[in-house]
Amino acid sequence: MICTAFIFQVFPVSGQTVNTGTVVIAQGTEVSTMEDFDNKEGATVHNDGTFFVYGNFNNDGLVSFTPGATTGNTLFRGLYGAQNISGNMPSDFFNVLFDNPATQPAFHLSGDIGVYGNAEFRDGIVDGDMYGGLVTFYQGASHQQVSDISFVDGKVRKTGNEPFDYPIGDGGYYRSAYMSEPSELSDHFTSQYILKNSNTLYPHSDKENNIEIIDNGEYWEINRTAGMSDIVLTLTWNEATTPSDILRKEEGKAIHIVRWDAVNKRWKDEGGVTDNEEKTVTTAVSGYGIFTFAKVRTEEEPTGLVIYNGVSPNGDGRNDFFYIKGLENYPENTVEIYNRWGVKVYEAKGYNNTNVRFDGYSHGRATLNKGKLLPTGTYFYILKYNDNNRLRDQSGYLYIN
């Protein structure tokens, strides 16, 4: 089969290629623009093939691909320095490649782009912070090769009910934020990493009593921009950006995630479980907005709960289920368990260690192997319970062997 590209009303104008009609790039076809490309209002680019963009790219019309298709590649490869990606209308790409070794940032993003397949960050930072653009990953979209030399410096939005690792950073550092799956397909969250001291905008002196030191080198902005879902959030630390006072181990203290409570105008301890090997802190958040790390005092009032976080579901009568000693004293409770990719594999109300208990089998909504024994590995649990009308929560790692 011979695939062709149908091009209408495309012409060079003063060092640029202007489209005022329709460009259809068929599957198996390659089209290149060596100069700047300008898709005018009312014009269309329909890409099911491969579109090489070597100059600036502006879209005031429609840029899309065939719905449900698994092809359509747009490759930004600068030949003349940094590339502007602009326009009054969003550009929808199936697969997109950012590969420009120009002086950083290589891509000046003032328009909005949507990714439906895969975004490959090979070389070059996509700067939407200074230029005002937004990158949106839709349901099923992914990314690869994100590193300190190629990420999104600015806002990234994720829509859908999948867990997601945000390809964000600032100041030459890739600093992802990872969220668990939202509950609804229509929900979306928007995230950005900022390599600045948050104290100027969000005073570190205004904080809960158990918070000792707040990270003064960086923060994340994570907002629930549609829907009502709650998520489990994982943030990463880096010795090059995260202050040593936060990372230093001290008895009776821990690294937690803290959030600026915009209603009460103070920093709130959101809790956290630390993975020193992966350099992460994970917690279920109670709200959204501005997040960073803090050193907190961890002394808590005794509740009589003892959590046995090892499960060996082999039927030998030992550690066959997730046992929470003393939970019968707190019948108003919920338990959630997530795998390492943020997919919920178990949830229950009124957990009681008898007929409501986790025995290593998957019961989560989005798990492919529902009702089957989960693989050996590390999981994350969240326990919430009512203690004399005081809502408490505990979280930590759970090991299935």
Instruction: Write the CB contacts of 214 (distance below 8 Å, at least 6 apart in sequence).
Output: 198, 199, 204, 207, 258, 267, 292, 293, 294
Give the number of other CB atoms < 10 A from CB of residue 397.
Answer: 14
pLDDT band at 60 (very low <50, low <70, confident <90, very high): very high
- Is the pLDDT at 186 greater than 80? The verdict is yes
pLDDT at res. 158: 98
Please state the rounded mean pLDDT for residues 207-219: 97
Q: For the chain, list the domains and their CATH numbers.
A: 1-153 (no CATH), 163-299 (no CATH), 306-400 (2.60.40)
pLDDT at res. 370: 61
pLDDT band at 8 (very low <50, low <70, confident <90, very high): very low
Which string of b and e fits 104-130 if b means at least 16 CB within 10 Å?
bbbbbbbbbbbbbbbbbbbbbbbbbbe
CB 276 within 8 A of CB 378: no
Which pLDDT tens digit goes with each residue over 116-167? 999 999 999 999 999 999 999 999 999 999 999 999 999 999 999 999 999 9
Q: What pairs with residue 207 in β-bridges?
A: 267
- Residue 246 one-letter amino acid: I
Give the number of other CB atoms < 10 A from CB of residue 309.
Answer: 16
Which pLDDT tens digit goes with each residue over 257-294? 999 999 999 999 999 999 999 999 999 999 999 999 99
CB 43 within 8 A of CB 19: yes
Pairing type for strands 155-159 and 107-109 reads unpaired
Which pLDDT tens digit goes with each residue over 346-382? 999 999 999 999 988 877 554 445 667 888 889 999 9
Least confident of 16-30, 75-89, 99-113, 290-304: 290-304
Which pTM was predicted? 0.90
CB 46 within 8 A of CB 68: no
Least confident of 140-154, 236-250, 299-313, 340-354: 299-313
Task: Give the integer Cα–Cα distance in Å for 167 and 174.
Answer: 7
